Every structure is written in C-alpha cells, then in structure tokens.
C-alpha cells in the first residue's frame, strides 16, 4: 500500500528533477505553471510517474482544458496518482 505521503514525496522529487531544483524548494501547494515546467518537462514528469508507480496516466497535450488527469497543482497530481494506483489494484 502506497501512502499519500509517499506519493507526494515522489511527485515532488520527480518535478524537482525536471526543474533542476532541490526538492525542498517545491511546496506541496505549488501550482505547476508557477514552477515554470515546459511542455516537454511535463510529459517527461508524467512518464516518470508512470514508471515509478506502474500506472498509465491519461494525458493529451492538445486538451489542456479537458484533462482526464489534472496536472495543475502538486496536490491534484497526487490525487490523480492515488486514484490510478487504487484503480490498478482493483
């Protein structure tokens, strides 16, 4: 069972790697656009999350307003990953 705290830590670590920042500089409340993550950085982060948790994240860069997976904030990413982990365990 993966805890929410573990997921949050992994999300922040992955974002930090893409942004070349120390993880401590990414707040759990951060908005992704405010962090300056570009479009390629975003798909790389999604790939890293999929590999880390063994999930498939539904995301199409052409539909930013209709995300099946909300990538707006750290907490929304954690919510989404938690949901997909639960689904994959079903």
Partner 1 sequence: MRRVVVTGIGTVNALAPDVPGTFAALAEGRCGIGPLTFRDADRLTVRIGGEVRDWPSEGRFDPARLPLYDRVTQYAIAAGAEAMAMAGLAPGLGNRGGVILGTAAGGIATWEEAYRAVLAEGKNRVSPLTVPRLMHNAPASHLSILHGLTGPVLSVSSACASANHAMGLALQQIRQGAADVMLTGGTEAMLCFGGVKAWEGLRILAPDACRPFSLGRKGLVIGDGAGVLVFEAEDHARARGAQILAEVAGFGMSADAGDIVAPDPEGAARAMRAAIEDAGLSPADIGYVNAHGTGTLLNDRSEATAIRAVFGDAPPPVSSTKSMHGHAIGATGALEAVACLFALTRGVLPPTMGFESPDPDCNLDVVPNAARPSDVTACLSNAFAFGGLNAVLAFART
Q: How far is the CB of 51 from partner 1 (least distance, A)?
A: 12
How far lies 64's CA from each of 6, 13, 38, 86, in Å? 27, 23, 13, 24
Binding of residue 47 to partner 1 (CB under 8 A):
yes
Binding of residue 64 to partner 1 (CB under 8 A):
yes
Q: How far is the CB of 59 from partner 1 (least distance, A)?
A: 5
In the three-class reduction of DSSP (H, G, I as helix; E, B as strand; rest coil), residue 67 is classed as: coil
Stretch that binds partner 1, among 10-18, 23-31, 33-41, 77-85 (CB under 8 A): 33-41
Q: Which residues bind partner 1 (CB under 8 A)?
A: 38-40, 43, 46-47, 56, 59-64
């Amino acid at each position: 069972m993966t805890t929410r705290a573990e997921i949050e830590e992994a999300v922040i670590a992955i974002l930090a790697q893409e942004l070349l920042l120390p993880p401590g500089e990414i707040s759990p409340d951060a908005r992704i656009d405010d962090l300056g993550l570009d479009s390629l950085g975003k798909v790389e982060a999604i790939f890293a999350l999929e590999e880390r948790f063994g999930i498939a994240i539904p995301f199409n860069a052409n539909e930013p307003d209709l995300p099946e997976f909300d990538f707006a904030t750290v907490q929304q990413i954690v919510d989404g990953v938690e949901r997909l982990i639960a689904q994959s365990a079903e």
